[in-house]
């Protein structure tokens, strides 16, 4: 099955193809118009703390859905959806260290695991592009630049650490429009957390992101910073839970939700 | 009648006091929660052009109401309202030059005059303050700083010229919140037109406003620029209509509209 035929398909069809091993690659551009999510899978003993962490930090950790304990399904995101098979690639952690990057996680599944589905900026980038606002990292065919900041998250149990932000350089008028557009999407990080001088949020060198790739910032542009879904992953890695599974970067879970479903106004 | 007793009054009571000559002063702080407007009064022969100018430039010239030709009333702003007497002070222009600053304009009234009531930033400043966002020029007890820009307005007939903007310095997080808040008020200039580097919109020296007073900008603040209701006055003065009347700066028309009536969401 080719990428083009995927693009004409509904999310359930794309998930089925991924489940069948036909798409072991990043999901950007698949099932356009539908929500793709970050996720983290944790044992029940750590899930309560992490759930509170998301509740207390909705900008970096906008919780879209949560599974029942031990249940690999998340029906509110797709009737057929199975978290063990429906993502192209995973990362399995023990004590905060990656031990495997498998294409499915059936062999790792346990009766005590809880899945947290967390909003992803793909959703608001779709709206920015539809509004004619260029996104530099897409134009330059790079990963979005991400930075650790000095903005503390609100800790919950073992989970704590600095907020990670993504950055998109925009002309002032586009930045203002982007603030309006992303304000409509609190479920996918919402409005920016900072605009302008990177040093004010503890970023020493904008040309050296902590994750992703640097992008060009032109003289007439402002860097605009959004809370980033890498924050929960960074926090989990630092908290070193006994066991954890996430998606591999860029290999997201595709849901039946439409991007517009996450718009509040 | 004292200022304090005014503040407890409804707009109609404040207008009545102004009509009776009891308040020949600026209107800031009167009838809190109610909309105060800029206005321009033009002969019918120029009114069509000016109406089109407002229509084409809604950010600097958000038209709240328009009178019938020759009618000094604007019932949609207040049943009792009489534009000839209900503003504390006026400016009368002939051929673009101020010829008088009277306390009422009954002697200047003509059967061909049309009144344009235009939104004023007092309305959104009220919402910013209610959200806990400090406004520097209020804190410093100065007039808001305003600047001519290199942003051209869209001309209509004889009316043309650069957009004038007002500036409020804000920390980034407050600037983002202010963009959200003022976006709800398209009837009073709406979202900012620029944020950050003043030179990008043709402002050479931020410390030297073209109108109003300079205010302090701190190291961790961005200048945020809104389209300003001085634009139509500046455009009118340059177009040199045969006759024109406006309010004197700061001496606004108080209406029965609530600030919240102008919020779209």
A256 and A170, same structural domain? no
A205 and A151, same structural domain? yes
pLDDT at A54: 95
Residue (of A239, A258, A192, A211) closest to A40 by Cα position: A239
Q: Nearest residue on chain A to B174, judged by CA atoms? A: A194
Judged by DSSP in three states, B121 sits in coil
- Residue B238 in contact with residue B161, Cβ under 8 Å? yes
Q: Is residue A6 predicted with pLDDT exceeding 70?
A: no
Of the given ranges (A93-97, A160-164, A195-199, B27-31), which has the lowest mean pLDDT? B27-31
A176, A186, A193, A263: best to mutate for the B interface, most B CBs within 10 A: A176
Distance between CA atoms of residues B174 and A150, nearest Å: 18
Distance between CA atoms of residues B180 and A131, nearest Å: 17
A101 and A132, same structural domain? no
Q: Which domain holds residue B103?
A: 3-121+233-262
Edge-to-edge strand list for the sheet holding B221-227: B146-152, B162-171, B221-227, B194-195
> Closest approach of chain A CAs to the CA of B143, in angstroms?
25
CB contact under 8 A, B172 and A194: yes
A174 and A138, same structural domain? yes
The mean of the pLDDT values for chain A is 93
CB contact under 8 A, A180 and B183: yes
Cα dihedral: A105, A107, A111, A112 (round 10):
-60
A222 and A240, same structural domain? no
Which of residues B263 and B224 earns the better pLDDT score?
B224
Among the partner-chain residues B172, B176, B196, the one whose CB lies closest to the CB of A172 is: B196
Average pLDDT over residues A87-92: 97
B54 and B181, same structural domain? no
pLDDT tens across A168-186, in order? 999 999 999 999 999 999 9
B181 and B221, same structural domain? yes
Give the H or E element holding residue A178.
Answer: helix A172-183
Distance between CA atoms of residues B38 and A70, nearest Å: 64
Among the partner-chain residues A180, A196, A265, the one whose CB lies closest to the CB of B196 is: A196
pLDDT tens across B128-174, in order? 999 999 999 999 999 899 999 999 999 999 999 999 999 999 999 99
Average pLDDT over residues B211-240: 94
Residues of B with CB under 8 A from a CB of A: 172-173, 175-176, 179-180, 183, 191-197, 200, 220, 222, 265
With a pLDDT cut of 70, the percent of chain A lying above it is 97
Where residue B160 sits, what CATH number does that domain have?
3.30.2040.10
In chain B, which ranges are continuous DSSP H helix?
A: 3-7, 11-19, 44-56, 122-130, 136-139, 172-183, 230-239
A170 and A94, same structural domain? no
Q: Which residues of B touch A265 (CB under 8 A)?
A: 265
pLDDT at B3: 52
Distance between CA atoms of residues A180 and A184, nearest Å: 7
Under DSSP, the state recorded for B186 is G
Which of residues B250 and A22 earns the better pLDDT score?
A22
pLDDT tens across B184-212, in order? 999 899 999 999 999 999 999 999 999 99
With a pLDDT cut of 90, the percent of chain A lying above it is 85
What is the sign of the dihedral through the CA atoms of A56, A191, B120 and B167?
positive
pLDDT tens across B88-126, in order? 999 999 999 999 999 999 999 999 999 999 999 988 998
Tell me how many residue pairs between chain A and chain B have CB atoms under 8 A apart. 50
B237 and B227, same structural domain? no
- Residue B118 in contact with residue B74, Cβ under 8 Å? no
A10 and A108, same structural domain? yes
CB contact under 8 A, B195 and A222: yes
Distance between CA atoms of residues A96 and A98, nearest Å: 7
Distance between CA atoms of residues B160 and B238, nearest Å: 8
The mean of the pLDDT values for chain B is 93
Q: Which residues of B touch A176 (CB under 8 A)?
A: 179, 191-195
Residue A107's contacts (CB-CB under 8 Å, 6 or more residues apart) are none
What is the sign of the dihedral through the CA atoms of A56, A59, A61 and A67?
positive
How crowded is the C-beta side of A226, counted as CA atoms within 13 Å? 31
Distance between CA atoms of residues B7 and B3, nearest Å: 6
Query: b/e per residue, B3-25, with b = 16+ CB within 10 A?
Result: eeebeeeebbebbbbbbeeebee
Q: Is residue B264 predicted with pLDDT exceeding 90?
A: no
Distance between CA atoms of residues A85 and B222, nearest Å: 47
Distance between CA atoms of residues A137 and A167, nearest Å: 9
Where residue B100 sits, what CATH number does that domain have?
3.40.1640.10
- Residue B168 in contact with residue B180, Cβ under 8 Å? no
Q: Hey, how many other C-beta atoms are within 10 angstroms of the C-beta on A132? A: 8
pLDDT at B38: 94
Task: Please tell me the total count of domains within chain A.
Answer: 2
Average pLDDT over residues A56-61: 95
Judged by DSSP in three states, A18 sits in helix
pLDDT at B98: 95
Q: Is residue A1 predicted with pLDDT exceeding 70?
A: no
Q: Is residue A131 predicted with pLDDT exceeding 50?
A: yes
pLDDT tier for residue B6 given thresholds of 50, 70 and 90: low
B143 and B115, same structural domain? no
A200 and A109, same structural domain? no
pLDDT at B1: 44
Q: ipTM higher than 0.90?
A: no
């Amino acid at each position: 099955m080719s990428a083009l035929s995927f693009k004409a398909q509904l999310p359930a069809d794309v998930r089925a193809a991924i489940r069948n091993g036909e798409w072991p690659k990043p999901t950007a551009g698949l099932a356009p118009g539908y929500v793709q999510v970050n996720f983290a899978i944790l044992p029940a003993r750590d899930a309560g703390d992490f759930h509170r962490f998301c509740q207390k930090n909705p900008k970096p950790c906008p919780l879209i859905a949560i599974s029942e304990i031990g249940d690999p399904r998340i029906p509110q995101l797709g009737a057929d959806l199975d978290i063990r098979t429906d993502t192209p690639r995973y990362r399995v952690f023990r004590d905060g260290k990656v031990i495997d990057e498998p294409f499915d996680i059936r062999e790792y599944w346990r009766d005590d695991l809880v899945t947290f589905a967390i909003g992803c900026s793909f959703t608001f980038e779709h709206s920015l592009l539809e509004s004619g606002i260029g996104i530099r990292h897409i134009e330059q065919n790079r990963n979005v630049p991400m930075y650790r900041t000095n903005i503390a998250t609100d800790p919950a149990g073992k989970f704590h650490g600095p907020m990670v932000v993504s950055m998109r350089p925009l002309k002032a008028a586009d930045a203002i429009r982007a603030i309006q557009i992303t304000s409509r999407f609190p479920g996918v990080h919402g409005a920016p957390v900072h605009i302008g001088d990177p040093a004010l949020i503890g970023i020493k060198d904008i040309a050296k992101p902590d994750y992703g790739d640097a992008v060009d910032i032109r003289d007439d542009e402002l860097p605009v910073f959004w809370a980033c879904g890498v924050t929960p992953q960074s926090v989990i890695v630092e908290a070193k839970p006994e066991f954890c599974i996430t998606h591999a970067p860029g290999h997201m879970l595709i849901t039946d939700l439409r991007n517009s479903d996450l718009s509040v106004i």
